Structure 1
Amino acid sequence: MKTASPPLVAPLVAPLVYVKLVFVTLFWGGTFIAGHIVAHALPVMTAAALRFAVAVALLLLVAWRREGGLPRLSRQQLLATAVLGLTGIFLYNLCFFGALGQMPAGRAALFIALNPVVTALAAAMLLRERLSAVKWLGIALAFAGAAIVITRGDPVAALHDISQSVGLGELLMLCAISSWAAYTLVGKSALKGLSPIAATTYAALWGLLFLTIGAAGSSAAVDWSTIGWQVWLGLGYLGAFGTVLGFVWYYEGVKAIGASRTAVFNNLVPVFGISLAALLLGEQVLASMVAGGVMVAAGVTLTNR
């Protein structure tokens, strides 16, 4: 009796997931270019609120198509998603757009590579999660690389005049990374009983509420007739590709190949960010950015092992 041949569909799943994850990092690298354009045309609060107006509309559609809508929240879940909205949406985007208004997009993209390292360090300090010697080495290597990027390759000189190396943009990006670390840690408890799509949609709704309240004053002063198509295109990109499609495909990767293997792809975000900034914005790529970026990527890889 002839045995049935195995299905041909399964082997094609993993390569498709890897392709999607590369595109996710491309989308996220592009957010620095779109954010740079938007941040120089609109007030910070207004820009962030418009981004998440687009994102919330699409997330609600995704939640309805994939899960039949949003579940009713318990009081604890309501509080947890509100904290997610405050940290990962409101504070992160406030710092993100603020930083891009002060510094080059490619330089800002390098900072974002520190996210997994700062999150691991915060988990060790606040949640008492144990870190191995290899992870501590990774953290030290990543922060050493970040110091090279921040000081433009001269950490010793920066100690004598720190204001010349660390400006408002750098401080805002460090605050953005800290906000995202808080979002990630709170998300561990918020996701209990909630799907990633539901938790993210509720967080985005809370974040949009906070941002809309904050943008009420600044939005009234905007001369909307002077806002060009590039800004509207940037906002659409940030909401659709940088937020919704990136999120959905990223969690498809987590489901298919696991969180650790998926997280390694985050190392491509600064690569795409720097490349796109040089190509589209004409920004200069410094040797210190390349050297520091490689060290940060190596440190993140060790920390994620």
Structure 2
Amino acid sequence: MNKPAHTKALLLAIFITFLWSTSWILIKFGLRNDLPSLSFAGLRYTTAFLCLAIFVFANPKERANLKRLTRSDWGWLALLGLIVITLTQGAQFVSLAYLPANMVSLILNTTSIFVGLTGIYFLKESPSRLQWLGIALTLAGVGVYFLPISVSGILGVGLLAAILTMLGNTASSLLGRKINLQDHLSPLIVTFVSMGVGSVVLLVIGAVTQGLGQPSLADWGIIAWLAILNTAFAFTVWNHTLQTLTAVESSIINSLMMPQIAIMAWLFLGEAISSKEILGLILVGVGALVVQLRKR
């Protein structure tokens, strides 16, 4: 193992989780400035798609890969984009418009649990005893965080959107596994095409149902930062680190997002968090990590 290269990959991966964690804070800032949630998400990912287009069309190899896509490839990638971007990201922005960032983060961290459970039926993969323990810890954490629960109308809308986001993440994980088994599809082309389809549809839906709002210069700065740095740049660097890091290492590093989001939400959004909620977050984080580590 090349230790300097490995250390560099570790530090880069940790930095990317930091960038992704700041996304939640920036999204909340944009929503507080009255940016329509669906249009805000559509603008972010459409801008990121345009950034990726530069990389694709400037690279002869990727242009050739794009031309080789079959009608079936386009169909599967379009479906992936509708699930990953239109449904999942649209619902996530809506959930953040109604719920604290910590609560949304906790719900989304249960994704690996649902992937494991749905895999029993769709992939014929039964969880191990250790994975069942992880599932139990996660469910216990959700109970500790939310109980006793009192759901108002607005909170109910946010919870529904967050659960829809989690289910979208689950579906995209299963569909993504199927698509990534195709050797002729490069990761960049998969991201480029799926993001292009999903982001444009999301932007159109947002514009028709909510309008585009009146983004200020600061709002456009947030959109540009989210699109260029936290999406196009971050995903490119993250995929690069995966060439050096093991799946276990990347899973552990990715789990750092939940505590980072909790700390940032407290510092920058004033979202107080009780000791009971901290315990719930810890249980969910540990449970999800146990499921991921054993699976890999």
| TM-score relative to the length of structure 2 | 0.89
Query: Which residue of 2 is the match for residue 189 of structure 1?
Result: 178
What does residue range 56-205 of structure 1 map to in structure 2 within 5 Å? 56-64=49-57, 67-69=61-63, 70-72=65-67, 73-149=69-145, 151=146, 155=147, 157-158=148-149, 161=150, 167-191=156-180, 192=182, 193-205=184-196
- What amino acid does structure 1 have at the position aligned with 2:28? H
- Mapped partners of 1:256, 1:87: distance in 2: 29
**CA separation of 1:278/1:51 partners in 2, compared to 1, >3 Å: closer, same or farther?**
same
Report the secondary structure of 1:284's partner residue: coil
Report the secondary structure of 2:255's partner residue: helix
In the TM superposition, residue 164 of structure 1 has moved relative to its aligned partner by: 8.9
Q: 1:18 aligns with which of 6, 10, 15?
A: 10
Q: Could you tell me whether the CA contact under 8 Å between 1:55 and 1:244 is conserved in 2?
A: yes
Q: Could you tell me whether the CA contact under 8 Å between 1:32 and 1:108 is conserved in 2?
A: no
Q: 1:53 aligns with which of 23, 26, 46?
A: 46
- 2:264 equivalent to 1:268: no
In the TM superposition, residue 233 of structure 1 has moved relative to its aligned partner by: 2.3
**CA separation of 1:15/1:303 partners in 2, compared to 1, >3 Å: closer, same or farther?**
same
In the TM superposition, residue 122 of structure 1 has moved relative to its aligned partner by: 2.2
Q: 1:35 aligns with which of 27, 32, 39?
A: 27
In the TM superposition, residue 65 of structure 1 has moved relative to its aligned partner by: 5.2
- Mapped partners of 1:221, 1:235: distance in 2: 13
**CA separation of 1:120/1:254 partners in 2, compared to 1, >3 Å: closer, same or farther?**
farther
Unaligned runs of 5+ in 2: none
Query: Which residue of 2 is the match for residue 6 of structure 1?
Result: none
Identity %: 23
Query: Which residue of 1 is the match for residue 198 of structure 2?
Result: 207
More off after superposition, 257-266 vs 271-280: 257-266
- 2:37 equivalent to 1:44: yes
Tell me how large the CA RMSD over aligned residues is.
2.2
Please identify the structure whose Cα radius of gyration is greater. Answer: 1
In the TM superposition, residue 199 of structure 1 has moved relative to its aligned partner by: 0.4
| TM-score relative to the length of structure 1 | 0.86
Q: Could you tell me whether the CA contact under 8 Å between 1:32 and 1:109 is conserved in 2?
A: no
- What amino acid does structure 2 have at the position aligned with 1:11? K
- Mapped partners of 1:78, 1:18: distance in 2: 34
Describe the superposition over 1:74-128 as per-residue Cα deviations: whole angstroms up to 9, x where unpaired.
Answer: 1221111111111110001111110111012233223232222222222223222
In the TM superposition, residue 165 of structure 1 has moved relative to its aligned partner by: 11
